[in-house]
A and B are shown apart, each in its own frame.
Chain A
Amino acid sequence: MIEWLRQPWPWYVAGPVIGLMVPVLLIIGNKSFGISSSLRHICAACLPSKAPFFNYEWKNEIWNLFLVGGILLGGIIAGQWLSSPDAVQINPKLAAELSSYGISNYNNLVPAELFTWPALLSAKGLILMAGGGFLVGFGTRYAGGCTSGHSIMGLSTLQLPSLVATCCFMAGGFIVANLILPLILKL
């Protein structure tokens, strides 16, 4: 059992279980699945602002902070006890491309050469972590949701804005991954 759990799980196991998050959250408490709003609640709770966008009863949404706290704990549990001993198996074409930028360590979920504390002092690391993070936070709120809120919850309820947003997530990702990221990795 533990052996099986330690292997990477195939998409046809993971996908349907992720989909079940939608009915589970609805049935246990009338909550719409989504994660990016947690960032807004953190702002509303911790950062002072007069902006009307942050003036609401954030305690009514505290369930969302428990959910993301759980995700953090889940990361620790999976990382400590369920991690696969093997490196991520990636497409040889991607491996060839990445090795030309000096990335060859596939043991972590993020490249060990790029996402470390010392890397923050380099332009590359700073753009990827701080710049990328800022875009994630700004973009998801502007779009009204993220992959879970729009692409899973929103598409499940057949919302048009969610379909448009999902297409834009993908379009933005294709542009940056293929055209911009290579330039950044060359820095």
Chain B
Amino acid sequence: MSEKTTAKQHHDFLTGNADFEVRSLDAVCLNESELKHPWWYNFKYMITGILFGILLIKAEVISWFRIQEMFRLQSFHMYGVIGSAVVVGIISVWIIKKFHIKTIYGEPIEFVTRKLNKGNVIGGLLFGFGWALTGACPGPLFAQIGTGATATIITLLSAIAGTWTYGVLRDKLPH
């Protein structure tokens, strides 16, 4: 099946699949693959995560102090990290599109264009407030706990509570 999935079929999967539609609500990061693999295939993502976690810590990206410097324009560090990451990301995506690079399982890679909504602004500001207070975006929340600052488990649990509250109130919020 994987060998034969055409770009058209994959596009239909991404646009005409109710479960995928619900999963893609308010989410950028998604599993866009149609393939079903045994659960232990997921360990490759865990390895990627381990490398990412080490990177976040060694680059001090998750340091509360570095975040405060960034929001006071006192250091170039964070701007350099995010800026160079975006440049590498843009070039990579351009190469994937240009050469129609497929996944290691032969699936086509498609990028779904997303629509702007009010949540991008309101939610973005609220997240910015939280970022400045905790010094952490969601990735660092997990890494901070790992470094031994165990009280940040409370930060993570509060973030889960925040997400749950959003999900329950979603229909009443402007989008």
Please list the residues of chain A having a beta carbon within 8 angstroms of any beta carbon in chain B: 5, 8-9, 11-40, 42-43, 47, 49, 51-57, 60-64, 66-79, 82-83, 88, 90-91, 93-94, 98, 106, 108-111, 114-117, 119-120, 125, 127-162, 164-178, 180-181, 184
Contacts and interface: CB of A to CB of B under 8 A. Distances in A.
A15 to B, nearest CB: 3
B29 A134 contact: no
29 contacts: A8-B59, A11-B78, A15-B84, A19-B85, A26-B96, A30-B103, A30-B109, A32-B32, A40-B163, A64-B45, A67-B52, A73-B53, A74-B57, A75-B147, A82-B58, A90-B65, A91-B75, A115-B64, A120-B154, A129-B152, A136-B138, A137-B163, A140-B138, A142-B26, A144-B117, A158-B90, A164-B116, A176-B129, A180-B129
A109 B141 CA distance: 11
B151 A60 contact: no
B170 interface: yes
Contact of A70 (B47, B82, B129, B135): B47
Q: Is the interface of B mostly helix, strand, loop or mixed?
A: helix
Given A39-B138, A49-B167, A125-B151, 12 more contacts: A11-B81, A30-B107, A77-B50, A82-B54, A94-B65, A110-B64, A130-B154, A135-B130, A136-B137, A144-B114, A159-B114, A171-B125
By Cβ-Cβ distance, the 4 closest A-B pairs, closest first, are: A172-B128, A34-B29, A74-B53, A75-B146
A58 to B, nearest CB: 8
Interface string B125-140: 1111111111111110
B167 A141 contact: yes
Given A43-B160, A79-B147, A168 B29 contact: no
Given A61-B30, A88-B66, A138-B165, A148 B139 contact: yes
Nearest to A131: B133
B133 A32 contact: no
Interface string B42-79: 11111111111111111111111111111110111110
A142 B173 contact: yes
A121 to B, nearest CB: 11
Main secondary structure of the interface of A (DSSP, over half): helix
Given A129-B155, A135-B162, A139-B124, A90 B69 contact: yes
Interface in B80-101: 80-90, 92-93, 95-96, 101
Contacts of A79: 57, 146-148
A157 B30 CA distance: 14
B45 A66 contact: yes
Interface string B17-55: 001001101111111110000010111111111111111
